[in-house]
Structures are given as C-alpha cells and as structure tokens.
Amino acid sequence: MRRPFQILRAAAVTLCLLTAATPASASAGPSPSPPASTTGAEAALAVPSDLTAKEVDFRGSGGLAMRGTVLSPAEGPAKAPAEGRAKRGPGRPGIVLVHGSGAGVPRAKLREEAVAFARQGLSVLIYDKRSEGYSLFRRSYSQLADDALGAVAALRSQPGVDPAGVGVWGFSEGGWVAPIAASRSAEVAFVVLVGANGMPPLRQQTWAVAAGLRKAGVSGPLVERAEPAMYRLIADGGMFPEPYHDPGPVLAAVRQPVLGIWGVHDLLTPPQENPPLVARALEEGGNRRYAFHFFPDADHAAHRTPDGGVTRLPELAPGYADLVGSWVGDVTAGRAPAARTSGPAPVQDSVSVPAEPPAWWESAPVQLAALVLFTVAFAAYPLVALVRRLRGRSRRPVTRAARLLAATGAATVLGSFIYLFYVLMTGGKLAAPGPVAAGRPLIWLALQALAVTCVAATVLTASAWYRSRGSADPARPGERGERVRLGLLLAGGVAFVPWALYWGLLLP
C-alpha cells in the first residue's frame, strides 16, 4: 500500500517544482525560512544594548544537538514585583519561544518577540528549529515538544532565572506543540499561545486556503468541493504530516495557566472558532486558569497589519508585550487570573468545515487508479493513431468525437491537478487564482468547459461505436485491436463522469 503513496509524493514534488516560481502557500504559520548557518546564527541576532545575550546548547528529541540564545534584561535580576504580588523565586521568570511551521527556522525569526518580552523583565530563550526529521512530508509534534522541553531545561538552569517560573510560548504550529510539552512536564510553569488552533491542522489549512480564495472573489465548487477534496487526498497520500492531530485531549491535559492571544485579522486560523474550542478543551480538563485577548489591527502573529491581515509589519501589536509581561508576572507570583476574554471581536468571514479521512472510493489509491486509467485511456488512442500513421497503416476513425474525447479528457485531468496544486501552493491570506468571472476563475471555467465537452464526446463516441458494431468485420486486419482501443477510450470517458462530479468540474 505504500507504493501508491510514493508515486503520489513524486507527482506532488514535480508539481511543486513546476510552480516554484510562485509564492508558497501560507500554512499554519510563517513561510519556511532558510536554516541559519552554524557560524552565522549569532551574527544574525542583533541584541539591543539594554539586553544581554548568552548562547546555550541543549539536547532535543532523540539527543539532537540544538543551539539557542537567551536574552535577558541588562540590569537587575528582575523587575520589581507590583504591589500586592509575592515574588515566587530568587530570579526572573523565563519563557521559551516555540516556532511556527517550517524546517530549520532560525532563532532570529522570533527576534522581535524575544526582545519585547526581555524588556518586560523576562529571560527569553529562542533556538534554531530542527530540520532533521522535519520536511514537507514528515514531522512530529511530539518530537518538537521534546525539543521545547529540552529548551525549558536549559533555560531553568541559567543563572538569574527562577527555575519554578519558566514557561513556553507557542506560535501557530507551536500552538499545537507547546501544550504537548506542558502536558508532559510539571516543570513548565505556564503556556502562552499565539494564533493557536483548537482544531486539527488539516481543517485549519483547508479553511485558510478557502478563505483566501473567497477573499479573491471565488465561490462555488472550486472552494466548496475541489479545494478540500485535494487536501484530503494529499493527507491520505501521506503528503500532509499530522493532518488529524486532535489538540482537544492535549489541551484537556494541560494543568498550567494559559494565555491565548489572537489578532483580530487572523487569516491563517479561524479566529472566531478556535478560542471557544481551546477554552472548552481546557475546561473539560478542569482548567479555568486561562485568559484570552484579541488585538485590533493585528494579524496571525499578533503583529501590526495595515491591510486586514495580508501584510505583516515587523512591529508587535501595541500592548501585546505588556500583556505577556504582566500576565507572566501574575502567574509566577501565584496569581493566575480566572477564565476571561477581552479585546474586540475577531473578523472571520466564513466558517471552517470538518476535514475527515476520505472514504475508500475517494482515497489516494482509488484516485491514483483513476489517474492511471485516464492516462492509459486518453493517451493510448492518439499514440496508436500516431504509430499507425508512421507505419503507413492509418485508418479512418469510427467517429471524430473519439479524438475530441481523448484530447479533452487528458487536458481536463492534467489541467485540473496542476491548477489545484497551484491554488493550494499560492493560497492563504490572499489567493492568486487568476482572473475571476461570476465567482469562477477563468482557468477553472475553462476546465469546466473541457469537462462538459469530454462528457458530450463520450456520449457521441459511445453512440458511434454502438452503431458501427454491425458493420465491423472481425476478419479485417487490426479490427479487434481497434475495438479494444475504442473500448478503452470509452471506459476512460465513462469513468470520467463520476470523477469530474466528485471534483466539482461538472457542478454549477
């Protein structure tokens, strides 16, 4: 059963290379950054004069050697606690920042957050994310959580840091990872989630790309059927790691105080749906020590955005760092606030839909089998004709509709998969589906027109084939081969009808 998946992966890589000139799809987090070099990691991290930086080494999951930087205030062990707060330990609180998606993301990616939090009196550890065991087709949130716990242990051992006051901060993909780390270790004092999800990754990603298409003016079967179907196919083929990870049970196992932060204009996670899901899971586990806040004019990362979440500015949302600093101060002083939500209501124009594992008839092996059938059926007809012509044995076709069937069938199947992969890779935030008319991209309209033509050609070819049966001479050279050739073409045409309906190509 792994062979079809390997073929699908190879096809996906090929299509990705073909569309590499276009921007990558915005997944549940920032676009992957190139790995920092071993010698250049420190140089890439400029440290303001009011902070100190210390390089640290630690072990991640599986004993992987990892490196990071601890930023701390330059003067004093910690901010003086506010009146009425009891200081918990001898040092300052600490926080480990867990990256969003991407392999080998350098620590400098989170520099703005690290500097802002350190200026709130925290010691902040940022580290280079692993690339080993993390790729487009493979990743493990459990492994990433163990990496984070390794970073927690390293920060707890630093001079001037209160070992009882070190927590984790998880952004986007890190919002799935940080709760796993917290649920595994009582050494994690608190959890901060930014742009986090209470739903599975596949559902989140399907919503993000669909929302981007709707923002670009697209509606109908491309958004409602083809896009989610393609994601489910990719996941079933093993090309979408951790697609059905359920964060609910993990969040229910978190006993530490939780601070959830979302930008009002989050275009990569459903900002109206996720906070209630996170709250419900926490409360199911008996944890009411959480606070949620929504920041206006802020995007997925709680950075400022001038255009409703499409563009991310370097600056954090006003008040974001202050909230983290004051909340961590309360928590580490033993004053975790009870459940509360604050800030303006987030903007979400469409609801997400469940992304369930496909049924057997829509699974990756069945789709691959259909693709093989179409390739053989639609390609064999013109190839045989070409060979016959080269050998001087060309013959008049039963009907010209057969040629049209072969051409439109091949063009529709190949064109649909290429276009859908392009849509997925360029989706999220603001998609680029091409010119749109009546809610349909012109390319999609052309594919639908080809699909309708293919169905019509199938009917005409079948009719001509049926009428010609009585006049066929079995003794005539090549007659049997011609019947097989035409029968195979018709089989492809007949199978094309339910396939095109499933992908929305024959739907209004």
What span, in angstroms and rounded, lies between the C-alpha atoms of 72 and 463? Answer: 79
Which helix (H) or strand (E) segment holds residue 306: the answer is none
**All domains in the chain, ordered by first residue:** 1-31+201-244+359-508 (no CATH), 49-194+246-260+270-275+285-338 (3.40.50.1820)
331, amino acid identity? V
Residue 230 has φ and ψ, to the nearest 5°, of: -65, -40
**What does the alpha-carbon distance between residue 375 and residue 492 come to, in Å, rounded to a whole number?**
9
What's the one-letter identity of residue 116? A
Please, which residues have CB within 8 angstroms of residue 129's CB and are 6 or more apart in sequence?
99, 102, 103, 104, 105, 106, 144, 147
Q: How many helices (H) and strands (E) does the chain have?
A: 14, 11
Paired tokens of 298: 């802020």
DSSP assignment letter at 40: T
Of 252, 331, 259, 333, the C-alpha closest to 287 is 252
Residues in CB range of 348: below 8 A, 6 or more apart:
270, 271, 272, 273
CA dihedral of 147, 100, 184, 139, whole degrees rounded to 10:
-70
Q: Which residues contact 408 (CB under 8 A, 6 or more apart)?
A: 450, 451, 453, 454, 457
- pTM of the full predicted structure? 0.86
Q: Which two tokens stand for residue 194?
A: 């930014």
Nearest to 421 by CA among 77, 5, 16, 6: 16
Name the phi and psi angles at 237, rounded to 5.
-85, 5
pLDDT (tens place) for every residue of the chain, 508 residues total:
444 445 445 454 444 433 333 333 334 433 333 333 333 444 457 889 999 999 999 999 999 999 999 999 997 554 444 443 334 457 999 999 999 999 999 999 999 999 999 999 999 999 999 999 999 889 999 999 999 999 999 999 999 999 999 999 999 999 999 999 999 999 999 999 999 999 999 999 999 999 999 999 999 999 999 999 999 999 999 999 999 999 999 999 999 999 999 999 999 999 999 999 999 999 999 999 999 999 999 999 999 999 999 999 999 999 999 999 999 999 999 997 888 999 999 999 999 999 999 999 999 999 999 999 999 999 988 887 666 666 656 655 557 899 999 999 999 999 999 999 999 988 877 788 999 999 999 999 999 999 999 999 999 999 887 777 655 555 454 556 677 788 899 999 999 999 999 999 999 9
